[in-house]
Amino acid sequence: MPLSPSALSRLEFQHQTINDLIGDLPEAELRRNNIPGKWSAFENIAHLDSYQPVFLWRLEKMQRESNPRFERYVADQDPVFAASLQKRLDQVLADIDTRRSQITAMYLSMDDATLARTGVHPKFGEFDLRRWADFFLLHESHHLYTIFMLVQDLRKSL
């Protein structure tokens, strides 16, 4: 059984919501930390950018190995996240688009036996590649909601 039409649609398009949310806000505003101790809107976007290579690596590992265990991903300890923070917004968004195409293509190429392969998440346990897609998309949607709230707060202060 392939991924659901809903999951495939979200894999293909959900990340484009970032552009809808940030609109024409200047990058400097998106980088402004408007809630002390929390990531800025830009930092949330950079996190989505830096998590995609981790997710691609996990997908590849689950296809090569039997039920691999993964360590918890901590963005603040990831040099790719630090590098994403140094990029311009247009670069970050382009990288998200590029890697998302790779993730989507990888999922579209998977047969039922591949989709049934599993990996072990450090908090949520073992699940198959279909459920990993759900995890990836829900994680992203959490950050999209956070970006929405931060951007709305920024717009109030302009």
Kindly report the pTM of this predicted structure.
Answer: 0.96
26-65 as b/e: b if 16+ CB within 10 A: eeebbebebeeeebbbbbbbbbbbbbbeebeebbeebeee
Structural domains present in the chain:
5-157 (1.20.120.450)
Give residue-wise pLDDT tens across range 61-86.
Answer: 999 999 999 999 999 999 999 999 99
Is the predicted pLDDT of residue 8 greater than 80, yes or no? yes
Give residue-wise pLDDT tens across range 28-60.
Answer: 999 999 899 999 999 999 999 999 999 999 999
Give the span between the Cα atoms of 98 and 83, in whole angstroms. 17
pLDDT of residue 2: 83
pLDDT band of residue 157 (cuts 50, 70, 90) is: confident
